[in-house]
Structure formats: structure tokens, C-alpha cells
Amino acid sequence: MGYLIAALVAPVFGPVLYRSLHEHPTAVRFVDGFVYLAVPLLVAWQVLPHAWAERSFVTVAALGIGFLVPAVLERLSHALEHRADNMALVGGLSGLVMHAVLEGAAFVPLEGAVATPFAMAVILHRIPVSLVIWWLICPRFGSIAAAAGVGSIVVGTLAGYGLGVEFLGTVHGPTVELYQAFVSGSLVHVVFHQGRHDHQHDHDHPHHHAH
């Protein structure tokens, strides 16, 4: 169960990095810049392989729609702005959890095998994923909610591992792929809209970081 344990422990390092770096004002902008870069890369990691394999732009279109829908809702009504961001955040988190479930199931046949590039990539990318979750949730909702968000990745991984590799065959399909693309687009929107607003406020008031 070595891969599974490593995948469960890795998300802990994201909040630890956030907390330690946010103690140093010069590092805050580095963290923000890292998140703005990491999220598009994580979305590409989840969405583009399927789009390339299927030679289809439908998945990419779903990603774009997911990015635009919250923006359209915000333009329609200023009162909807906060609610649209929160809905997009929940949707984006659900996509990350779903991805964690699939990765947990994929670990089952790897147990006992030598280290593979896939396993190491999955384990290592859990750190930026958890950092992004903490970065998005903690300033607005506090550390308990942020810990619950990171914990959902751990629970999703355990659930996928428990369901086993047979589960992969039942959920890999166009509907699931399109949903993941849609909520991934929503996640990108939240990072560049809500996240920029929350963390710009932090820059303006450096003594009010949420921990």
C-alpha cells in the first residue's frame, strides 16, 4: 500500500507550504503566482489527454463553457457574483474529488510494482492540488473549511481505492469527461476572479492573512 499511503500523505504538504510561506510577505506573491500557473496546468493534466485521444473539441468546448458561465451570471446580476463564485468553487472541487477517486482506483493494480512515472506524477501533483484548494478556501471561509476541502481529496482517493480498478470501466465515459471539463473551467474562473480578489485584499492588508 506504499503508493496509496504516499498519495494520502502528499496533500498535507500543500497547506503546510501555504502556512509557512504566508508567514513571509515576500513569499506571498510567489504563492499567488504559482497558483495562477498551477491551475491551468492541472486542468490541462485532467482534460487535454482525453480531448487528444478522442480527437474531439467537445471537451475543450465544455471547459470553455465552464469558465464563461459564472462570468455571465455575474454580468447578469451583481447580486449573483458571490453566489456564482461559490457554486463554481464547489463544482471545481467536485471535479478534483472525482479525479482523486479515479486515481485511487488506478493505484490498485500498481501495488507491489516498481515506481512508475504515472504513480510518481499522481503523488507529486497532489501537493499543488491541495495548495490550490487551501489558497481558494481559507481566505474566504477559514482553515476548517479549507481542511475539509483538502480532506475530500484524501477521502476520494480512499473511496476509489476501495472501489477497485473495475470502477474505472464504469465511470470512464463521455458524460463524466464532459462534466470534469466543465467544472475544471469553473475552477479556472474562480482562481482568476475570486482568488485574485481575495488575495489582492491580503496584499492590501498584509496583517490579515487567514491561517
Ranges of H-type helices in the chain: 2-9, 13-21, 25-54, 58-76, 80-107, 117-141, 143-163, 166-171, 174-190, 196-204
Distance, CA of 72 to CA of 79 (rounded, Å): 12
- Give the mean pLDDT of 111-133: 80
Q: What is the pLDDT of residues 135-179, one digit of tens each?
A: 999 988 999 999 999 999 999 999 988 887 676 666 666 777 888
| Sequence-distant (≥ 6) Cβ neighbours of residue 48 within 8 angstroms | 60
Positive/negative CA dihedral, 155, 199, 33, 70? positive
Q: Which range (63-77, 119-133, 163-177, 181-195) has the least confidence?
A: 163-177
Name the residue with higher pLDDT: 187 or 119.
187
Q: What is the predicted pLDDT for the residue at 189?
A: 87
Distance, CA of 209 to CA of 73 (rounded, Å): 29
List the grid coordinates of 112. Answer: 507491489
Q: What is the predicted pLDDT for the residue at 206?
A: 47
Residues in the chain, total: 211
How many CA within 13 A on the CB side of residue 189?
29
As a whole number of Å, the CA-based R_g of the chain is 17
Q: What is the pLDDT of residues 38-81, one digit of tens each?
A: 888 888 877 777 666 666 788 888 889 988 888 888 777 766 76
With a cut of 80, say whether residue 111 has pLDDT above it: no
Phi-psi sector, 81: left (phi>0), alpha (psi -120 to 50), beta: alpha
